[in-house]
């Protein structure tokens, strides 16, 4: 089985297990063994799935402002956790391929394996929810038809992205592409880098 197929299965298992309770407060119950890449991928998609639904909730125009602010803080933390986990997954690949000697003209890919997998994880969520819309009983037939067309496009994107991920990993394994772990350096969560936060400290 191609690696991308394994990742796709892990992502969809996470999505299905989340929707058993369909609650953003459901604790993660990761079925994969400690230290495995599958465990990291499951955790990654669980973050994405919870955040998907947090983003839905916060867009309720009748939401209480205090609740909305708490949700925004939770989404910010989720984004940081997501980024941190992507870097951990990239570090896993770096360790896996550490003995590979790049060829003389090896290149750097515009996207690391983990960030490509991040896109695949989100794509799994889009496909899951778009498929639900094609079958939603309360929706009009026109809505279902339009969602079915979008679903076909998403599935084509899935096929292309999975192929690209497998090709990228093959190129890394063969030394045609060099690997690095890129730190995202998110500034808005850092009290020493976000002007709103560090100005608050000096105004006391």
For residue 139, what pLDDT is reported? Answer: 95
107-119 pLDDT, tens digit per residue, is: 999 899 999 999 9
118-166 pLDDT, tens digit per residue, is: 999 999 999 999 999 999 999 999 999 999 999 999 999 999 999 999 9
For residue 188, what pLDDT is reported? Answer: 66
For residue 202, what pLDDT is reported? Answer: 57
Are 82 and 158 spatial neighbours (Cβ–Cβ below 8 Å)? no
Give every residue of the chain whose pLDDT is below 70, as ranges: 184-191, 193-194, 196-198, 200-204
For residue 193, what pLDDT is reported? Answer: 57
Rounded Cα–Cα distance for residues 80 and 186 (Å): 8
**Domain spans, the chain:** 3-202
For residue 1, what pLDDT is reported? Answer: 87
For residue 186, what pLDDT is reported? Answer: 64
- For the chain, give the mean pLDDT: 93
- Which tokens sit at 118? 């991040």
For residue 117, what pLDDT is reported? Answer: 98
């Amino acid at each position: 089985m191609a690696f991308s197929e394994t990742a796709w299965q892990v992502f969809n298992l996470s999505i299905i297990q989340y929707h058993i309770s369909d609650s953003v407060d459901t604790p993660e119950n990761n079925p994969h063994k400690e230290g495995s890449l599958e465990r990291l991928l499951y955790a990654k998609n669980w973050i994405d799935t919870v955040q998907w639904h947090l983003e839905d909730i916060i867009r309720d125009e009748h939401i209480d402002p205090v609740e909305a602010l708490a949700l925004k803080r939770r989404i910010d933390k989720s984004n940081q956790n997501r980024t941190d986990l992507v870097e951990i997954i990239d570090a896993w690949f770096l360790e896996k391929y550490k003995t590979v000697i790049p060829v003389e003209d090896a290149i750097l890919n515009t996207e690391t394996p983990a960030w490509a997998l991040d896109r695949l994880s989100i794509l799994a969520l889009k496909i899951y929810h778009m498929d639900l819309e094609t079958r939603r009983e309360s929706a009009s037939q026109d809505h279902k038809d339009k969602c079915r067309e979008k679903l076909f496009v998403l599935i084509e994107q899935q096929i292309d992205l999975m192929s690209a991920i497998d090709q990228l990993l093959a190129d890394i394994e063969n030394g045609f592409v060099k690997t690095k772990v890129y730190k995202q350096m998110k500034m808005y969560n850092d009290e020493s880098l976000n002007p709103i936060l560090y100005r608050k400290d000096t105004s006391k």
